[in-house]
Chains A and B, each alone.
Chain A
Amino acid sequence: MATTQDTLHAAADGRKLNDPAMLKRRYAAEWRFKAYGLGALGIALFFLVVLFYSIISQGWTAFLQTNIKLDVALNEADFQDADGQITEQSIRVADYTKMARDALQSTLGLESPTRPEKRDLRGLLSRGVDVQIRNKIESDRSVIGQTVPVWVLANGEVDALIKGSIDRNTPEERRQLNNKQLAWIDKLIAEGRLEKQFNTGLFTYGASSQPETAGLAVALIGSFFMMLIVALVAVPIGVAAAAYLEEFAPKNTFTDIIEVNINNLAAVPSIVFGLLGLAVFINFMGLPRSASLVGGLVLSLMTLPTVIIATRAAIRAVPPSIREAALGVGASKMQTLFHHVLPLALPGILTGTIIGLVQALGETAPLLMIGLVAFVVDYPTTPLDPATALPVQIYMWASSAERGFVERTMGATIVLLMFLFVMNAAAVYLRRKFERKW
């Protein structure tokens, strides 16, 4: 039963190996150690579960949005310009908000509503309904002259009520929706005209001051551009620097200083990179503010040390015998590096790179200084256009007053977490796939 090692330990302690009391103690010590480990793991898991639970339970409703079905009467007269013609421009400027309000009014059977009633009616519809109806007509002009059913967005407060974040039992004077509006909403629900549908707007709208028309599109495009730039800038530079340092650079004080500084750089607070980006890229190089290009470059600087450190570790893990064999059959140092060392180090490099990208994707602080914490409505088409990033959008929504932004904050967090999860899973997969054992 006793291995050599046990014998040695016991002998060193000057005790007998088969002393039952000692055996018991050693088992107990091992058991305790395992219990501590399990406990630590349990605590970590517990907090993870609490975090996920609070995010998902508050955020899943953001993927649904309350819509109202309106039978909108599209009278030709409403689309004609001064000359009685229907042109692209006259379709663009038609008063869609009024059409939507009239449709809601007739749906609810109100003949001639009073002014306060009109205001209450307005309060049921989103301010974005005009664009929704216009899009429908611009995609198919033949509907002009008919009455067509259109699903339009309900106001954010109606949405909050349906999702339960506004309490019906709150006294009327302190509730965002009054009793009349509640009655109307109930009527619409009973007629099947008001229901929750999948919220495509969350992925197609840009920033908005109303929660129901606020979406992640600009942030997603911005984050995509930034990740692309980080991958194009930080990875080649980082890998080249690491390969040089590991394979070519002489080992002297100078390279030691470089090494220490790279490690230090990895621990610099990220806001410092934002300040640097503001000074260098915007003030000195004259790149535009709020552009994802600048964001990408700043994040590249931030990611660079991570990539260098990971790549160096991966290159170092390639056994020297590989290099010696390559050199032995006459390969040059560069051929050795590119033909043998880098391909073998690739899984480690990929893992490090993806971890660096993941870190960059979740960063807000450096972006604050270079104008990416902004209200951007239009889609960015190039990396020079104003954009935001996913974590920035979360930060901005978190500070909004309207109830609907609370769930959107959490919803956006879920989207961000999904991206992080996918990227981390990719890192694990790539490592497994290319891993070589020696």
Chain B
Amino acid sequence: MNNKFFAMTAAVAVAGSFAFANAASARDQVQIAGSSTVLPYANIVAEQFGKTYDKFKTPVVESGGSSAGLKQFCQGLGEKTIDIANASRKIKDAEVKACAEAGVKDIMEIRFGYDGIVFATDAKGDAWALEPKDVYLALADKIPVDGKLVDNPNKKWKQVNAKLPDWDIVAYIPGEKHGTREVFEVKVMEEGCKASGAYDLHKAAAGDDEKKAKKAAEKACFKVRKDGGTVDIDGDYTETLARLQSNPTGVGVFGLSFYENNTDKLKVATMSGIEPNVETISTGKYPVSRPLFFYVKKAHIGTIPGLKEYVEFFTSTKMIGPDGPLAEYGLVPMPKNELDELQKAVKSEEIM
């Protein structure tokens, strides 16, 4: 071993890393990041896009969550930043402001469909019929008993509603960082809170200021019990499914598409008597659903090759229409008139 060898290796390594740094060339593919709920849809579109268009590279889709994606999105303009943020919720005003401060002013908002959120139990059990009220009474931190708010005394689902089985109350719900949690809170807990009368009690307890009391009551309604009745799942639905399999008397919260891919292992519960499926969600009959979005930097159109084409491809009827691969995976497609409008907006690069 001579000293030249070591000197050379070191020199090559150092020189190499700087050469790479300088060679960072213009980006020739679309970069996307964001929601893990939107990820499988974006993957399908990216894959098909790469197959269909010869001259463009397949877009790169990162996961990480809606908030993380939008944060990256709002870092600024230029090819070192991402072009599209996927989100399972609407962009917040604070995020729009952060974007504008970093120079990201013209943002295209694209709502490409809906996702249903379902309650499901192990496939071997009986089918459940849930009401938002049942869920609230089972999972809330405080529930009304004889006109007074008390710590949730219910231990079994049967105590909540005689029609439900005699199972211990254990629900696996999405953790705070998930967009799904918000839908669960607003569409189920709040509804149940109002139906059970807890909302009025919370409001009365919060004081006289009407506006403040309303806000406080809403917040109180979202509070779930922490005595083991609910378990926050910070991972993804695979983890929820694994928990259900080890505890078959639990109840899990899933996305519709995940449930549809695992119908042999899960049994879905009806909500207010409506079974969740593509039809009931797209018509709005099934109450627990949310729109899915992605956000595009208009300034990048024209500088990043394939960006406009990708957005148009994503919003084409071939992709997000009722017969497209996204609907097949579990996306709830939007009605035709909405789709027409969206396609028009994309064509004219309409911004928020």
Contacts and interface: CB of A to CB of B under 8 A. Distances in A.
B150 interface: no
B64 interface: yes
A396 B63 contact: yes
B261 A236 contact: no
Contacts of A403: 261-262
Contact of A398 (B43, B46, B238): B238
Q: Which of B9, B50, B261, B264 has the most chain A CB atoms closer than 10 A to its own CB? A: B264
B6 A240 contact: yes
Interface in A376-407: 376-378, 383-384, 386, 396, 398-403
Contact of B31 (A130, A290, A400): A290
A401 B238 contact: yes
A209 B43 contact: yes
Interface in B261-282: 261-264, 267
A127 B89 CA distance: 30
Contacts of B63: 373-375, 396
A396 to B, nearest CB: 7
A125 interface: no
Contacts of B23: 384
Interface stretch (B34-42, B158-166, B293-301): B34-42
A375 B20 contact: no
A368 interface: yes
B67 interface: no
Interface stretch (A12-20, A28-36, A184-192, A338-346): A338-346
> Which range holds the interface residue count of chain A?
35 or more
A399 B63 CA distance: 11
A360 interface: no
What band does the interface of chain B fall in when counting residues whose beta carbon is under 8 Å from A? 35 or more
A71 B264 CA distance: 33
A236 B24 contact: no
Nearest to A173: B263
Nearest to B237: A401
Contacts of A399: 36, 235-238
Interface stretch (A281-289, A351-359, A413-421): A281-289
Contacts of B40: 209, 400-401
Given A127-B325, A286-B24, A288-B80, A232 B237 contact: no
Most chain A C-beta atoms within 10 Å of own C-beta, residue among B17, B42, B46: B17
Contact of A375 (B39, B57, B80, B235): B39
B249 interface: no
A232 B9 contact: yes
B24 A401 contact: no
Nearest to A174: B263
Interface string A201-222: 0000011110000000000000
Contacts of A175: 263-264
Nearest to A286: B80
A177 B134 CA distance: 34
B275 to A, nearest CB: 12
Contacts of A76: none
A10 interface: no
B261 A402 contact: yes
A239 B46 contact: no
Contacts of B284: none
B258 to A, nearest CB: 5
A400 B330 CA distance: 13
Contacts of B9: 232, 235-236
B264 A167 contact: yes
Contacts of A334: 3
A233 interface: yes
Given A236-B9, A338-B3, A375 B16 contact: no
B1 to A, nearest CB: 5
A400 B238 contact: yes
Given A174-B267, A373-B62, 6 more contacts: A176-B261, A207-B47, A240-B6, A342-B1, A371-B33, A378-B50
16 contacts: A176-B261, A208-B43, A209-B43, A232-B16, A236-B10, A239-B6, A282-B80, A287-B24, A342-B1, A346-B1, A378-B29, A399-B235, A400-B40, A401-B262, A402-B261, A403-B261
Counting from the closest, the 4 A-B pairs by CB-CB distance are: A377-B58, A375-B61, A236-B10, A401-B261
